[in-house]
Amino acid sequence: MPRTNDEVRTAIVSFLKETLETRGYPPSIREIGVHVGLASPASVQHHLRRLEADGLIHRDPTRSRAISLANEPPRAVEIPLLAEVGAGYSVVAEVDDVETIAIPASLVGSGDHFALRVRGDSMIDAGIFHGDYAVVRQQHDANDGEIVIATVDDQFGTIKVLRKVGHRILLEARNRRDPNLRVPIEITHRGSIQGKVIAIWRNL
């Protein structure tokens, strides 16, 4: 027997609540459609818009997949996962088909953010390991001692500690076991800071 629109929307709200409680971030449009039996993403969006108009859910129009129940802040947001970062790996500023990663909304404040997958062990003494995700706020300067994503000579992207010595901008590794990493890298006029690392996200 066909369900009414109210029954479908009740099922959507129930699924949202269950998913938020069990994994901490909301389901995708596709997951909602599969769960409630809607093949068209447009149909799911239609029901979500109605639920929002009725005050049962809240959606942040500036962020993908930021859905929360009424009177609750969004628990997760999606930010673009742009590239891997580490010696020899470029920081990609723009790509056509951007993969995203869902992270707790509490990690992200104002401004534009992106994530990079860490490759290598140059920052292990700072608690940053191979395979971690660096959550980055896009900005072109940072304070001395902060962890940043930077390019050097326009050739590679790296995650390092920023050091300002006079007019020199240096990047320091954090790995006592590799003496080759202790020599700071200098950002030249062809290099730049891409953003400040505000959090490290690790899948357990």
Asked if 42 and 103 sit in the same domain, the reply is no
Asked if 64 and 89 sit in the same domain, the reply is no
Radius of gyration of the chain (CA): 21
| Residue recorded with tokens 């500036």 | 62
Asked if 46 and 86 sit in the same domain, the reply is no
CATH of the domain at 17: 1.10.10.10
Asked if 55 and 88 sit in the same domain, the reply is no
| Tens digit of each residue's pLDDT (9 = 90 or more) over 127-166 | 999 999 999 999 999 999 999 999 887 767 889 999 998 8
Active-site position among 110, 122, 164, 196: 122
Element (H, E) at 196: strand 192-201
Helix 41-53 vs helix 29-36: crossing angle, to nearest 10: 90
Asked if 54 and 91 sit in the same domain, the reply is no
SS3 (DSSP) at 42: helix
Q: Which of 72, 98, 131 is the last residue of a domain?
A: 72
Phi, psi values for residue 82, rounded to 5°: -90, -40
What pLDDT is stored for residue 99 in this prediction? 80
Asked if 19 and 112 sit in the same domain, the reply is no
Asked if 105 and 48 sit in the same domain, the reply is no
CATH of the domain at 137: 2.10.109.10
Mean pLDDT of each 10-residue bin along the chain, 204 residues long: 82 88 81 91 91 84 72 72 60 54 76 87 91 91 93 80 90 85 79 90 72
Active site residue 43: no
- On whether the CB atoms of residues 130 and 120 are closer than 8 A, the answer is yes
Q: Which of 38, 72, 106 is the last residue of a domain?
A: 72
Q: Which of 40, 72, 104 is the last residue of a domain?
A: 72
Where in the sequence is the domain holding 13, given as residue range(s)? Answer: 5-72
Active site residue 196: no
**Structural domains of the chain, count:** 2
